[in-house]
Amino acid sequence: MEKNLEKTYNPQAIEDKLYDKWLEKKYFHAEVDRSKKPFTIVMPPPNITGQLHMGHALDNTMQDILIRQKRMQGYNALWQPGTDHASIATEVKIIEQLKKEGVDKETLGREKFLERAWEWKEEYGGRIVSQLKKLGSSADWERERFTMDEGCSQAVEEVFVKLYNEGYIYKGSRIINWCPVCQTSISDAEVEHVEQTGHFWHIKYPVAGSDQFIEIATTRPETLLGDTAVAVHPDDERYAGLVGKMVILPLVNREIPVVADYYVDKEFGTGVVKITPAHDPNDFEVGKRHNLPEINVMNDDATINENGGKYAGMDRYEARKLIVKELEEAGLLVKVEEHVHNVGTHDRCKTTVEPMIKQQWFVAMEELAKPAIEALKNGSLEFVPERFDKTYLHWLENIRDWCISRQLWWGHRIPAYYCDECHEVVVSKEKPATCPKCGGTHLTQDEDTLDTWFSSALWPFSTLGWPNKTEDLDYFYPTNVLVTGYDIIFFWVVRMVFSGLAHTDKSPFQTVLIHGLVRDSQGRKMSKSLGNGIDPLEVIDQYGADALRLTLITGNAPGNDMRFYLERVEASRNFANKVWNASRFIMMNMEDTKMEDVDLSQLTGADKWILSKANSLAAEVTANMDKYDLGIAVQKIYDFIWEEFCDWYIEMVKPRLYNAEDTTRAAALWTLKTVLIQGLKLLHPYMPFVTEEIFCTVQDEEESIMVSAWPEFREEWNFEKEENEIETIKEAVRGIRNVRAEMNVPPSKKAKVFVVTENQEIQDIFNSSKVFFATLGYASEVTVQADKTGISDDAVSAVIPNAVIYMPFAELVDIEKEIERLKKEEERLAKEIARVTGMLGNEKFVSKAPEAKINEEKEKLVKYTQMMDQVKERLGQFNQ
């Protein structure tokens, strides 16, 4: 074979080259093919403002692993990619750009602003896609979509009009999250709850017509300007006589009622709460139940409005200071307590969000949520791990109407039109020529755009051509798996599920695979403020994409956070080096050797052992991947390649490779190549680049590992007897190595090895495997015999089940140390025998434990007793 690998593994030299080859060959592309079973993953669309971070890297690596494996298994695998327009994030970026040019958004006007936004998208929107390609993502880039492309926009309009006509979308005044800086409503997903140290202000509310007071405690005293009631629990005897009476609102001097409502927690604070329906979502609900007025006391920039009387025009925090000061002067401030609480802030600009009552567009969620709950209960939707069922259900069962309008220009504009003459509202995909009510021709479109999540909720089906009945939609939908972090189950997963069910009658995916966060080495969340973020692209530049991918998956369990250490990336790169160097070694030995005529009957015990191990590995890894235990699967592949294949098998066959006359040399090389290819295929989804480069060099039957067949268990490769034989040899070698290591004997010092056993089967195993001992057991000569005849009394021993290994090199041994070592072994075995005897003598254990477990412990007792006899015999010899 003339091809060979470069001397050293250099990911920078191969990764881009291979990715370009894959693109050119269209290996990622999927077309409808009814002869194949489809497997679809839809990529959570990254923001066009996005920069690849470790969360993206983990998320996309997991998707790529699944899609690459399914492709190799013969599925028609589609990984549907695309990007999200990210309304607020993009608008903020463009406004920043305009500011640098000294241009004001309002002065520029909507049309010109949108022109700039599309220019920005064209320039920067593809950045994250090129970064995902660096990671090795095998998405079908020919099908790349954008949430504001023509097809997705058509789907958005279709859904809005449909839900409006069905009565699910309405315009009304409700509490929403308002960002005073960005001047828009924002979704719950964009509210970050940050722990802040604040205060509880305890305030007296005088009871009208008496000298009594009710004491309330609040963290936002400025909102008392909008109080329209105080509430107590209906069963709170302390306040039973006050329900229905009026109290005087401090500083405002307006009379407001005392109402009884189960929302109040009797045990918390004073058991009395102020009710401000226009500035608190819970108070809003209380207000609706008791027909309370709603008084908004804030402007959009969080200054106090005209409803705030003399405080009008003041910033909310400025007003707070003055109100507290005046309450104190009036003798109405009882006390101030320090209080740590979670405060909602806008994740983009970090401003404290103001709950505010506003006229907005909403989706009525109660009915839409029911099928989404049922989908989980009837099994058409499942979470991995299952514990996230609770999170999903909790959110759906307590769902509030969804505010979908945003006061932004970049995004899908709401398809609602207002008649300038009669104010009729017309919801339509196209602008109506005339008002259906009065015939007027002047209609103005709603200024607002839709929440970004409105379009991404349709992503699994809008990307496949819905609302049109396309072949792609019919064949690739519903999708199979959604891979996402646990932090957006509510905001995105829930919305996709209810949207899929409402518009396609199907859950948009069967399985939701949840992963955790990638944290720093100290377990902290990666963030700009902490400065602890690690750029995946820098890691790729230094160590290669394969090393990063392996690190992100190793030890990773579904739903759990992981810690990221650069030392682990180095270990992953070392593993790639190990595979590379082992492959080079095999290829160099394959030159001028014909292996075509080798069949299984020509294989030695060692060959059959490693082939059988690789065979079992294929079955185990497939089973783990089917259960989405990707971390467990890759650990098994890693351990097999590094330990069994490289450290054991390659070392075992070296004597055969170096002997041109050895008749089993071709069988050894056939096995090396076959098992290497098997290992590479199993490793490919995790480390696509290094496996492709080696695969294409070690064989020329197939042009790419990407389109090769996934390994399956083959009965003819199942050699249980040979596996047991070699495991016995390995145990002996380990025993020899341990004894030599304890005595600090250098590997260069060869010694005779005697295997003493009366067991004929064990004798046969060692007689047929003497060749291994030269390389693995540092043996100058191997003798297998039934007793100790001819073995010097000062020989050092290693005890294994049914045999003792002796090494007569007394001149290297400190006899006292050997006695000490044997005594330690005697102590260890005594403890094990006592433990097993105790278990087997325990009636509770024997009556309840499975039969297999009892038999296992009995076998251990026999093994330990035999080993103890051998240790005692050895000690007796030394004592003589």
Cβ 573 vs Cβ 12: under 8 Å: no
Please tell me the least confidently modeled range out of 309-313, 341-345, 436-440, 541-545: 341-345
pLDDT band at 471 (very low <50, low <70, confident <90, very high): very high
Largest CA distance in the chain: 119
Model confidence, pTM: 0.84
- What is the pLDDT at residue 813? 59
Phi-psi label, residue 74: left if phi above 0, alpha if psi -120 to 50, beta otherwise: left
| Average pLDDT of the residues of the chain | 92
As a whole number, mean pLDDT of residues 794-817 equals 78
- What is the pLDDT at residue 181? 86
Rounded Cα distance between 618 and 608, Å, is 15
As a whole number, mean pLDDT of residues 194-215 equals 91
> If you ran DSSP here, which 8-state letter would residue 266 be given?
T
Cβ 612 vs Cβ 717: under 8 Å: yes
pLDDT digits 0-9 by tens, 248-261? 999 999 999 999 99
- Assigned token pair, 206: 């005088």
Backbone angles phi, psi at 41, to 5 degrees: -125, 135
How far does Cα 177 stand from its chain's mean position?
A: 29
Residues 6+ away with beta carbon under 8 Å from 615 = 678, 713, 714, 717, 718
Backbone angles phi, psi at 185, to 5 degrees: -75, 150
pLDDT digits 0-9 by tens, 662-690? 889 999 999 999 999 999 999 999 999 99
pLDDT digits 0-9 by tens, 319-359? 999 999 999 999 999 999 988 888 888 877 888 899 999 99
More confident residue, 689 or 492: 689
pLDDT higher than 80, residue 3: no
Instruction: Name the residue type at position 880.
Output: Q
Percent of the chain topping pLDDT 70: 98
As a whole number, mean pLDDT of residues 190-195 equals 84
**Beta strand spans in 441-504 (E):** 443-445, 449-450, 479-485
243: helix, strand or coil = coil
The three-state (H, E, C) secondary structure of 203-232, written as one string: EEEEECCCCCEEEEEECCHHHHHHCCEEEE
Closest C-alpha among 108, 120, 133 to residue 23: 133
As a whole number, mean pLDDT of residues 302-317 equals 94
Rounded Cα distance between 871 and 823, Å, is 8
Backbone angles phi, psi at 107, to 5 degrees: -65, -40
pLDDT higher than 90, residue 92: no
Percent of the chain topping pLDDT 90: 71
Cβ 611 vs Cβ 717: under 8 Å: yes
pLDDT higher than 80, residue 773: no
> If you ran DSSP here, which 8-state letter would residue 620 be given?
H
Known binding-site residues for ATP equal 528
pLDDT higher than 60, residue 160: yes
- What is the pLDDT at residue 1? 43
Starting at the edge strand found earlier in the chain, the sheet holding 479-485 runs 76-80, 38-42, 479-485, 509-515, 382-384
Domains and CATH numbers, the chain: 184-355 (3.90.740.10), 545-718 (1.10.730.10), 750-879 (1.10.287.380)
Known binding-site residues equal 528
pLDDT higher than 70, residue 814: no
Distances (CA, A) of 700 to 206, 547, 871: 90, 26, 54
Task: For the beta carbon of residue 1, count every other beta carbon within 10 angstroms.
Answer: 16
Please tell me the least confidently modeled range out of 146-155, 280-289, 521-530: 521-530
- What is the pLDDT at residue 13? 94
pLDDT band at 809 (very low <50, low <70, confident <90, very high): low
pLDDT higher than 60, residue 811: no
Task: For the beta carbon of residue 187, count every other beta carbon within 10 angstroms.
Answer: 19
Task: For the beta carbon of residue 578, count every other beta carbon within 10 angstroms.
Answer: 17
Please tell me the least confidently modeled range out of 97-106, 236-245, 284-293, 794-803: 794-803
Closest C-alpha among 185, 191, 188 to residue 411: 185
More confident residue, 268 or 296: 296
- What is the pLDDT at residue 880? 64
- Assigned token pair, 140: 């079908």
CA atoms within 13 A on the CB side of 182: 32
Residue 95's H or E segment, with its range, is helix 87-100
pLDDT band at 821 (very low <50, low <70, confident <90, very high): confident
pLDDT digits 0-9 by tens, 697-750? 999 999 999 999 999 999 999 999 999 889 989 999 999 898 888 776 778 888
